[in-house]
Chains A and B, each alone.
Chain A
Amino acid sequence: MSTTAVRTGTPPTARERLGDFGWGTVPYLMVIPGLAFVLGVLGYAVAGGFWLSLHETDMFLMKTYVGLQNYIAVFNDPRFQASLVRTIVFVIASIALGIAMSMMFALTLYHVGFGKRFFRGMSLVPYFVSGIAAAVMFRFVFTTSGGFVNYVLQQLGLHTPSWLGDPYLAFMVSVLANCWFMVPFATLILLGGLQTVDKEIYDAATIDGAGPVQTFFKITLPMIKPMMGVSLIWVSYISFSTFDIILALTAGGPQRATEVVSMYMYQLAFLQLDFGQGAVLMVVLLLFNTVLSLFYIYFFVLADKRTEKGN
């Protein structure tokens, strides 16, 4: 190998220039196609929804501007009020149960001594089952004759209730089905959080005399706050916009016991063909979700990021 000659002469072509790492228009050209889809469809739909909520659609699909009339009608509608309350109860119950289960499963997967990978992989399976299929399966688990739960109860000689015929029980079952679907993802997020906690911290806490319960509440929970935030966003997002599960499980019944906002929205728009009021419910769903997500992001994710170094 010898000292070499540089290729001299030829002036740099445009392609050779530093433009590669420069500012220029290149990054915009790379970002715009994807954005066109996102804004073109989702943005357009959201904008269209707001527009629709201000209009009345008649039988011939002609639209007339009616201002806030749809909003007034919806907010005075007892059926909407009931569905809103039901949604809030549904979301709170799902969050409480879902986070508790996720935390329990995450701790279990964290501590399990054998087959770690297997159990982890298995725990995520429901995440890949469509909402409709999950609902159908849950129907067969809880159906009165032929359901798994009643099969077990029957074997034990216990009373076998009509799970999906009773308003309270049906509501409970839909919360359970919703949890079945959404807990796995939250579990793995929390598990990821648990794994980031340095084991020496637990040793230090033990030496400082903290018991398992204290360690969990004083050390583990605060340290996985950001992941807790992500799980909460996921769980509330899924619960708020739950639709396919309830549609295929109870279709809102019995006696509207499971008619949450998204179900009522579907009713209004697709069965009663009242697009204006349906769109109002869309706006309600959207706002609730956005506010809740921003709240979580602020409290759990950003609050911690601020003390770290941003990138």
Chain B
Amino acid sequence: MAEGYVEYSGLKKNFGAVPILHGIDLKIDEGAFVVLVGPSGCGKSTLLRMTAGLESVTDGDIKIAGRLVNRVHASNRGIAMVFQSYALYPHMSVDENLAFSLKMRKTPLERIAEAIKGAAGILKLSPLLDRLPAQLSGGQRQRVAMGRALVREPAVFLFDEPLSNLDAKLRVEMRAEIKALHQRLATTTIYVTHDQIEAMTMADTVVVMHDGRIEQVGDPLAIYDRPENLFVADFLGSPAMNLLDGKVVATDYPDQPRAVEVAPGVLLPIPGGAAAEPGQSVVYGVRPEHVALVGEDAGEPVTMTLVEPAGWETHLHADLAGLSLRILSVERVGAKPGDRAGILIDPERVHLFDRATGRRL
């Protein structure tokens, strides 16, 4: 791959003596919509703020559009940032908020007016220009924050959990709006969230982070279908993937020469091509939606412990020889706690991980 539009190489960050980022290597293509996702405290904001120029670089390089920006001031990096709290200037009206960065740059007044008009048109802010932030709803504030980023015509948009202060319905709306904006402007965007749904739905490329490291980078569905390690497997997907400790054993079935024993006598099937030797300690992973419920006398026997009908789907918890198993069914299941049933697992949908290293086998 050629040079990325935004490029991190060996990027490290310490706060005092505490290392927070342990060497980030990542290339982001021009025009891409990249989502950094990971649990709280994993360093997503830190990485984004280093990109913005709000945090210094401990070690390594950040390049934007081929230019090394490690020591370039935030205002000269060609970036614009939308904060979780929106960080609107509370004492300025909407149009003053939008104009501020241009005024600081001594842009001629006509140009400022033009830029405001453009941004307000795109974001449907025109009727609100005279209002103060306090007089706006959450969604409107969010749009002003985006407008403020827009008028600067940045090379890179940075978003730090921009939707987490909105209620669920608005969040879905704004999600679509941000995505549409990106499709229209095609500006390179780095978007931080801890919400995997946002990550999955919005990203061209998802970057899963954990403890200051990148765990996996890729197309959202590809990551979902092929998590490279235990952390990614566990983090992405809701309800989360079933992860059962087990041991690889040889079986007598010719079409299934190996299986994983997750409890004494309970053998679960594994993909044919999996590089697992009998005797190896593994973690057996299968997503709840890939566990099929069948009649009581087929498959592995389970006992239902909890049934949560959610309308469009049903979440079930079942006991498999003392192990707890999550099952997701898109059909209405008439089961009650205590009912017996059997489960079938498609071996091609199974993920196997080395227990010691956590890596995919």
Contacts and interface: CB of A to CB of B under 8 A. Distances in A.
A18 B52 CA distance: 11
A20 B76 CA distance: 14
Contact of A4 (B67, B71, B118, B153): B153
A5 B65 CA distance: 8
A1 B155 CA distance: 12
A3 B71 contact: no
Interface stretch (A6-14, A220-228, A259-267): A6-14
B143 interface: no
Contacts of A12: 71-73, 76
Contacts of A18: 53, 56, 71, 73
Given A16-B73, A18-B56, A22-B56, A1 B185 contact: yes
A17 interface: yes
Instruction: Using C-beta atoms within 8 Å of the partner chain, give the interface range for chain A.
Output: 10 to 19
B236 interface: no
A118 interface: no
A5 B78 CA distance: 8
A1 B73 contact: no
Main secondary structure of the interface of B (DSSP, over half): loop
Interface string B153-164: 111000000000
Given A1-B185, A18-B71, A6 B64 contact: yes
Contacts of B113: none
B298 interface: no
B67 A8 contact: yes
A5 B75 CA distance: 14
B72 A16 contact: yes
B65 A1 contact: no
B112 to A, nearest CB: 14
A12 B185 CA distance: 28
Contacts of A4: 78, 153-155, 187
B109 interface: no
B352 to A, nearest CB: 43
A17 B64 CA distance: 16
Contact of B65 (A6, A20, A21, A22): A6
A10 to B, nearest CB: 8
Contacts of B71: 12, 16-18
B241 interface: no
Given A18-B56, A22-B56, A1 B64 contact: no
Contacts of B78: 4, 6-7
B54 A21 contact: yes
A6 B77 contact: yes
B240 interface: no
A20 B66 CA distance: 25
Given A4-B154, A6-B78, A8-B65, A20 B56 contact: no
Nearest to A22: B56
A210 B66 CA distance: 70
Nearest to B78: A6
B323 interface: no
A209 B53 CA distance: 57
Most chain B CB neighbours (cut-off 10 Å) among A4, A6, A22 = A6
A18 B74 CA distance: 8
A1 B151 CA distance: 9
Contacts of B30: 3
A9 B72 CA distance: 11
B291 to A, nearest CB: 43
Most chain B CB neighbours (cut-off 10 Å) among A2, A9, A15 = A2
Contacts of B153: 1-2, 4
A8 B186 contact: no
A6 B65 CA distance: 7
B139 interface: no
Contacts of B188: 3
A4 B119 CA distance: 15
B206 to A, nearest CB: 22
B87 interface: no
Contacts of B150: 1
A2 B122 CA distance: 13
A3 B186 contact: yes
B239 to A, nearest CB: 33
Q: Ordered nearest first, which 5 A-B pairs have the shortest CB separation?
A: A6-B78, A16-B73, A4-B153, A6-B155, A6-B65
Interface of A: 1-9, 12, 15-18, 20-22
Given A16-B72, A16-B75, 17 more contacts: A1-B118, A1-B119, A1-B150, A2-B185, A3-B185, A4-B153, A5-B65, A6-B64, A6-B78, A6-B155, A12-B72, A12-B73, A12-B76, A15-B73, A17-B71, A17-B73, A22-B56
14 contacts: A1-B118, A1-B150, A1-B153, A1-B185, A2-B153, A2-B185, A3-B187, A3-B188, A6-B64, A6-B67, A6-B155, A16-B75, A17-B73, A18-B53
